[in-house]
Structure 1
Amino acid sequence: MRLSSLRGVLLAMPIALLTLVPLLVVLGAFLDPQPEIWTHLIDYVLPDVLKNTLILLLGVGCGVLLLGVPLAWFTAVCEFPGRRFFSWALMLPLAMPAYVLAFVQVGLFDFTGPVQTTLRELTGDSSWFPRVRSTGGVVLVLSLAFYPYVYLLARNAFLTQGKRALEAAQMLGMSRQQGFWQVALPMARPWLIGGLTLALMETLADFGAVSIFNFDTFTTAIYKSWFALFNLPAASQLASLLVLFVLVLVGLEHWARGSRQYHGRIVAAERIQLHGWHRAMAVVVCTLVLCMAFVVPLLQLLFWVSSIWREDLDARYFGFTLRSMAISLLAALIVAVLSLCLVFIQRRFAGRMTRWTVRLATLGYAVPGSVLAVGVFLPIAWLDNLLIPLAQSLGFAGYQILKGSVAVMLLALAARFMAVAFQPMDSAMQRISRNQEDAARSLGLSQRQLLWRLHLPMLRGGVLTAVLMCFVDVMKEMPITLMTRPFGWDTLAVRVFEMTSEGMWANAALPSLMIVLTGLIPVVLLVLKSED
């Protein structure tokens, strides 16, 4: 290993430990198996949890592909009425957290909801209506929530092909349909796998939506083991299994991508003009998905808020909002500073080991929040136990310094969202060429002057994007906030969880609407970036 690369590893490793320590702590549960806990899990928990998780992964995987790929193809390659509008509007569901979409759909389509109530008034019977609180219901909701990951990446892939890929296939004797299946889709394979992997990781990490549907998965089982059964060892054992699921998923993604090289660039080729029923189908499909995933839920939230805001909006919401914004801003700033350090370390001390250390530091986004909550809490609790004798000697008997503090929550949030801040900053750094740095050095600038007069001014846009995206992600984040917050430290996301746990959909609408409106910020940034 070169000396510069070693220095890069040593500088980046303390930041990487934010993610590595929780993961190693959780995986360390396998070293202390505790047979009585595993017997209980195998007999009463794991059969249903494993079955539900596998069904959910399979169903959501198929769902996001069935929704995301056709929509990406229509808006990237075809021409039909409203294409320019749908090309960015179909990204709006990114602003709708899965747990918000879940309780809105339950509130609309459950037995006591307005849809079934209206059907009973018109026909006298609604028993034939599909049950929304079902496996199919949760799969549909998560597919609607996570299809934009596939849509965004697949659309970028199809934009690099344009109409020319189909024309090349037709020159080889294929029909347009055969060209799509045998040329366009295989060429888009790495983008599709990337989007599918993101959607499946979000599915594994989801807690709010599956809890609303009473659909037990690893995340709900971890939460119940910790807070309902007060059994932290059982929660850590379940978290270790969930980490293995995530690592297997990441490994399969790398294996599926293989060593193939895919090259392409955005082309301005002529679009395929849709006519007749093909044109109508494209408009109907785009409209239906957009309405189900964003428009109808947003209108329902506005309706609920208009009916209860006078009774529900009180001084508590000032606290909910203030705490949500404070923890989001603080976490965003901490993550932005740490990510900026990683970007500079990777640039200054380039090398394979430095890159791998930086990758480890940004691995947290692939890990569910409930796992990081367990992984951060366990060492903090251990450290607190070591500090208790010191606290007692100072006259603070039983006083705990770290456990139950905001610091625990910030540690878990920093590990979770490091990659969110790192990616836009790293992309901005890539635009600064080595020639620019050499030119600056030739003018007599030192390394520190290079940082302040070249790098930071040119990274300003990436830093702003990183802070905004982290801010919004922390606002929406539920399991880490719910599991590590100090007593009485409720946020908007916690308020949503408490109200939906009681089936009080209208009361959950106001904090949900605040979260959704905040979530529109990164979506607008993505839209503006895609139009550049």
Structure 2
Amino acid sequence: MLRFDKLSFITIATAALLTLPIVVIVIQIFSQDMSIWHHLYETVLFDYVTNTLLLMFGVGVGVIILGVSTAWWTSSFDFPGRRIVSLLLLMPMAMPAYIIAYTYTGILDFAGPIQTVLRSVFQVSYGEYWFFEIRSLTGAMLMLAFVLYPYVYLMSRAAFLSQSGNLLDVSRSLGVSPLMSFFKVTLPMARPAIIAGLSLVLMETLADYGTVEYFGVSTFTTGIFRTYYGLGSIAGAAQLATGLLCFVLLLVMLEKFSRRRIRYFSHTESQIKPNRVKLTGALQWIVLAWCMVPVSIGFLIPAAVLAYWSVKSNVLLSSEFFVLIWNSFSLAFIAAFVAVTLALVLAYAARKSKSKLVNGAVQVTSLGYAMPGTIVAIGVVIAFNGFDNAFLSFLERYTDIEFGLFLSGTLVAVVFAYTVRFLAVSLGAIQSGLQSIKPSIDQSAQLLGLTPSQIIRKVHVPLLSGSVLTAFLIVFVDVLKELPAT
């Protein structure tokens, strides 16, 4: 008979609660016949699978190139404007992909200023010249890569900065060049953090709807929306959503399998932080230009266009704008606080427990991140409505007082949907940070009589301050950008 301590019970109960909306959606599969699924299988399912895989591959390659390279340059080298660039590289995270998709469509499309000027200068007409088609699968890859690379950048840079300078000094003393030292020492040590960031990017890519829909790319997400709204079938949408969950499960298993026997510890008493190499000559300006490319494309240009539109419409002067600001920031703060708190508990439970059930429960909580926001919201509404209706029926049977809905239509439902949707973000950042803390530190705290909650609060939180702030920031920004569930 299996026996669980209090922390394991809380972990399993939390995982069961957070996966309730997904279970509700999966149950809908069996509520009707499979005719719609057969129709999708015979017509568009192959396109959904192919485009989704290609999109994941293109975005994954893009974010690794952009995120890892910029993280290495800004953490290991010194060049003009490095500190400012290090902060600017985070800014595209605040820009929703569908917003820059709309912005660049206006700039690069046939009626945009660039093609208009080209036709005027060279006296050519439509069809007589080649120009990059922004509304395409490649365009969607680029838009998503330029706004999602900060996930990889943040975690990679944190891993690079935490590495001991002793290892790099030893590699240099053996005659290894800085570039080879990066590939043979720095990059392998940072692999857990890079994989964690890449997993978040790929799950975000799977869940994206606005960009691929605007560009006319058929993926699982657009198929779910079209099935739900076009065919009016929640069962058909749930069947596609279940297929999307299979992609997420595959990602989670691959991420775990890739580092199943690998452990990296960097918190040592003799740790020496590596000295940054000062770049000179043309190389320093080339590195600066490279770091400014994703900043400009992912934030500066779209922000300038949005600012121009805002000034023209005078929306910034309206009282409703400040109400929207308060609602957005307050909800984002609450959701980020809840997500980070739960992530700390779940990550510590997975670290402490050897039970496959507990570790599996922790991983299951990450599934909501790849679900489209509307599907998560539908699952939350169905589950909360069922609870409210059952509870109200019970109260009406024994009292004459009329009660309103307790959970449905309240901020509790919104925050719960945010937590289901974005818990994986904070969990990935916290678990990546925990891997660099030796288990002996936990054992020493237990010998001193500290409870699990005290270990988290007094030991892990101080050591994981960077990871905790990173997780809070990412969830906060993601909630601000979230549209369908809200």
Bin for the TM-score computed over the shorter chain: 0.7 to 0.9
How far 1:233 moved relative to its partner? Answer: 0.5
| Structure 1 pair 80–377 and aligned structure 2 pair: CA distance change class (3 A) | same
- Normalised by the size of structure 1, how large is the TM-score? 0.72
Q: How far does the alpha carbon of each residue in 1:302-321 deviate from its partner, in whole angstroms, 9 at most, with x for none?
A: 111122226x9656546644
Deviations 1:83-131 (A, max 9, x none): 2322222122222222222222222222222322333333334743211
**Where does residue 6 of structure 2 map in the other structure?**
7
What's the % identity of the aligned pairs?
34
Over the residues paired in the alignment, what is the CA RMSD in angstroms?
4.5
Q: 1:400 to 1:216 in 2, by over 3 A?
A: farther
| Post-superposition offset of 1:33 | 7.9
Letter in 2 for 1:274: L
Matches of 1:464 and 1:154, distance apart in 2: 15
**2:251 corresponding residue in structure 1:** 249
What is the CA deviation profile of residues 357-389 of structure 1, one whole-angstrom value per residue up to 9, with x for unaligned ones? 872574356432434234334444655776898
Q: Which residue identity lines up with residue 417 of structure 2 in the other structure?
A: A
Instruction: Give me the whole-angstrom Cα distance separating, in 1, the residues matched to 2:278 and 2:421.
Output: 44
CA distance in 1, matches of 2:472, 2:245: 27
Alignment of 1:16-55 (within 5 A): 16-28=15-27, 34-55=33-54
On the 8 A contact 2:51/2:219 being kept in 1, the answer is yes
Determine if contact 1:18/1:415 at 8 Å carries over to the other structure. Answer: no
Q: Establish whether residue 375 from structure 1 lines up as the match of residue 379 from structure 2.
A: yes
Match of 2:102 in 1: 103
Q: Residue 111 of structure 2 aligns with which residue?
A: 112
Alpha-carbon distance in 1 for matches of 2:40, 2:23 = 21
Q: 1:308 aligns with which of 313, 321, 329?
A: 313
Query: Residue by residue, what CA displacement relative to the aligned partner does 1:250-307 show, whole Å, maximum 9, x if unpaired?
Result: 1001111120223336743343343444333212211222211111111111111122
> How far apart are the structure 2 equivalents of 1:155 and 1:421?
17
SS in 2 for 1:289: helix
What SS does the aligned partner of 1:130 have?
coil
Q: 1:426-475 CA distances to partner (integer Å, 9 max, x unpaired)?
A: 989x999898899899xxxxx9x989x989x989x899987776554322
Distance 1:258 1:345, change over 3 A: closer
Q: Letter of the aligned partner of 1:103 in structure 2? A: Y
Return the letter of the residue paired with 1:307. K
In structure 2, how many angstroms separate the alpha carbons of the residues matched to 1:383 and 1:283?
Answer: 56
| Distance in 1 between residues matched to 2:203 and 2:211, nearest whole Å | 14
Distance in 1 between residues matched to 2:286 and 2:470, nearest whole Å: 36
Deviations along 1:180-223, one digit per CA (max 9) or x if unpaired, are 44444333322322222121111112122222222222222212
CA contact (8 A) 1:384 1:402 kept: yes
- Bigger shift: residues 93-102 or 353-362: 353-362
Tell me the equivalent position of 2:209.
207
Inter-partner Cα distance in structure 2 for 1:134 and 1:241: 23
Gaps of 5+ in 2: none
Alignment-mate amino acid for residue 171 of structure 1: L
Distance across 2 between alignment mates of 1:137 and 1:206: 14
**What residue in structure 1 maps to residue 199 of structure 2?**
197
From the superposition, tell whether residues 419 and 63 of structure 1 become closer, same or farther in structure 2 (CA, over 3 Å): closer
In structure 1, list runs of 5 or more residues that go unmatched. Answer: 442-446, 482-532
Tell me, what secondary structure is at the counterpart of 1:479? coil
The answer for the alignment partner of 2:168 in structure 1 is 165
**Which deviations, in whole Å up to 9, do the C-alpha atoms of 1:307-358 show, x marking residues without a partner?**
2226x96565466445545644564566577668x479959x9644596387
Query: Which of 276, 287, 290 does residue 285 from structure 1 map onto?
Result: 290
CA distance in 2, matches of 1:436, 1:177: 40
Alignment of structure 1 residues 126-275 onto 2, 5 Å: 127-159=129-161, 160=163, 165=168, 168=171, 171=174, 176-264=178-266, 267-275=272-280
Question: What is the aligned partner in structure 1 of residue 362 from structure 2?
Answer: 359
Residue 411 of structure 1, CA deviation: 3.0
**Amino acid corresponding to residue 377 of structure 2 in structure 1:** A
1:144 CA drift (Å): 0.6
SS in 1 for 2:314: helix
> With structure 2 as the length reference, what TM-score do the two structures score?
0.78
| Deviation of 1:53 (Å) | 0.4
Whether the aligned pair in 2 keeps the contact of 1:362 and 1:422 (CA below 8 Å) is: no
Q: CA deviation at 1:63?
A: 0.7
Q: Say yes or no: does 1:295 pair with 2:328.
A: no
**Contact 1:11–1:345 at 8 Å: present in 2 too?**
no
For residue 138 of structure 1, report the CA deviation from its aligned partner: 0.9
Of 458, 468, 484 in structure 2, the residue corresponding to residue 479 of structure 1 is 484
Matches within 5 A, 1:371-520: 371-380=375-384, 408-418=413-423, 470-481=475-486
Deviation at 1:39, TM superposition (A): 1.0
How far has the Cα of 1:8 moved from its partner? 2.7
Name whichever of 233-242 and 114-123 sits farther off. Answer: 114-123
Cross-structure match for 2:75:
76
Report how many residues are paired: 468
Alignment-mate amino acid for residue 311 of structure 2? S
* C-alpha displacement of 1:19: 1.7
Three-state SS of the structure 2 residue aligned to 1:480 is coil
* Map of 2:61 onto structure 1: 62
Q: In 2, Cα distance between the equivalents of 1:471 and 1:74?
A: 27
Q: Is the 8 A contact 2:425 2:474 kept in 1?
A: yes
Deviations, residues 467-513 of structure 1 (Å, cap 9, x unaligned) = 776554322212222xxxxxxxxxxxxxxxxxxxxxxxxxxxxxxxx
1:464 and 1:263 map into 2 onto residues whose CA distance is: 20
Seen in structure 2, the aligned counterparts of structure 1 residues 182 and 438 have a Cα distance that, compared at 3 Å, is closer
